[in-house]
Structure 1
Amino acid sequence: MKKYFYLCLVMLGLFSCKQPADQEQNDLAKLEVPQEKYESFGEQISALNSISAEEMKLKYEALKPGDTIMAKFSTTVNSVCKMKGCWMTLELPGSDEEPMVKFKDYGFFVPKDIEGSSVVVEGIAFIEETSVEDQKHFAKDAGRSKDEIDAIKETKKSTGFLAHGVLIKQ
């Protein structure tokens, strides 16, 4: 009789803890977060914990030439190298600066038609001095006119970014 009593007690405990299948599905649905789709280039990175372009602008403002910081941020592509996709410039809202993004070890490129696309980049942010020769080279790659290229006459301090991974929102 005692065995039967303990068996009933155990069975009652098991059934009282079990949620109905519908309730379990509802709980799982609440945990699901719609995932944005990205195409990945370079090292595998995640969009999680990326900061906004506005926050990144503040980080750049705090940098001095020669300083570097690790960063991951989301923004929009302003321009891309039309020859190979070997660099891109990004938007920093409220700033005249457009970080020039190059890719770690020249190891990967991005598509040449992604102007206006949303991206997440992860890598090293820095302030650099860009020579006249390099500025003209980048202007030519971007498809600028001869007059625009010829107007470049002096070195320029600018924001730079060496990306080891890029995500392009689909």
Structure 2
Amino acid sequence: MKYLLSFLAVLAVILLYFRFVPSAPINPVLPVEGSQKEVQGHNSEVPPGDENDSTERLEEGEEGPSTAVPPATPGQTYGAAIGPEGAVPMSALATALGTRDSAQVKLVGKAKEVCQAKGCWMTLPTADGKEMRVRFKDYAFFVPKDLNGHNVVVSGWAHRSTVTKDDLQHYAKDAGKSAQDVAAITKDEQQLTFMADGVLVQD
């Protein structure tokens, strides 16, 4: 009985302690700003030339590099610093590729269309009157949105690729095409594409 009374007394003291002595506040663990890696979509690159991945969607909600690219200036480079030495004209691309699906090459041509959302792709006319879309390795840099009409040198990998209907429609929206033009795209296309690690504005 004596032990039971002692136990009850100790228990009462413990209960009174927790009742009247405030406990230390518990601070919630807050996430550190910028500690979580952003998920990339539109141009977080996988092996160059793979048009069937979903990386072309990054620009729809991703910051990526700064979009404030100054107007095109002759002599300016984007991405890796490159020069015009060894560049072949777009008309020689078919010869450079031969029967291969891809080839590392430096090309010179006149920019035609440029992504008006961020400058995250551009096109170069090919010898057969079509266009080769140029994207930028690892989504690491953009080009000026007013680059159309300028002669440029691009260094990287040319590919023969299948571009899906969804990607084609997405590119058309980026280029500022009308809803009617976008809706007119109804099937995948075989196209030449290019993954550039560097771009030089010649003039």
Structure 2 length as normaliser, TM-score?
0.61
Secondary structure at the aligned position of 2:141 is classed as: coil
1:52 is aligned to 89
AA at the equivalent of 1:55: A
- In structure 2, C-alpha distance between the alignment counterparts of 1:144 and 1:59, rounded to whole Å: 32
AA aligned to 1:104 is K
Mapping of 1:72-151 within 5 angstroms?
72-93=106-127, 95-151=128-184
Report the secondary structure of 1:83's partner residue: coil
Q: 1:164 — aligned with what?
A: 197
In structure 2, distance between residues paired with 1:92 and 1:48 = 20
Distance in structure 2 (CA, Å) of the matches to 1:63 and 1:69? 10
Percent of aligned positions with the same letter in both sequences? Answer: 35
Over aligned residue pairs, what C-alpha RMSD do you find?
A: 1.3
The structure that is helix-richer by fraction is 1
Q: Aligned equivalents of 2:122 and 2:89: distance in 1?
A: 18
Q: Larger relative CO (CA 8 A, sep 6+): 1 or 2?
A: 1
Asked whether the 8 Å contact 2:153–2:201 carries over to 1, the reply is yes
1:26-65 → structure 2 map (5 Å cutoff): 38-60=75-97, 62-63=98-99
Q: Which has the higher strand share?
A: 1
Match of 1:31 in 2: none
Question: What 5-or-longer segments of structure 2 have no aligned partner?
Answer: 1-73
CA apart distance, 1:92: 1.9
TM-score by length of 1: 0.73
Which of structure 1's runs of 4+ aligned residues deviate more than 2 A? 57-60
Larger Rg: 2
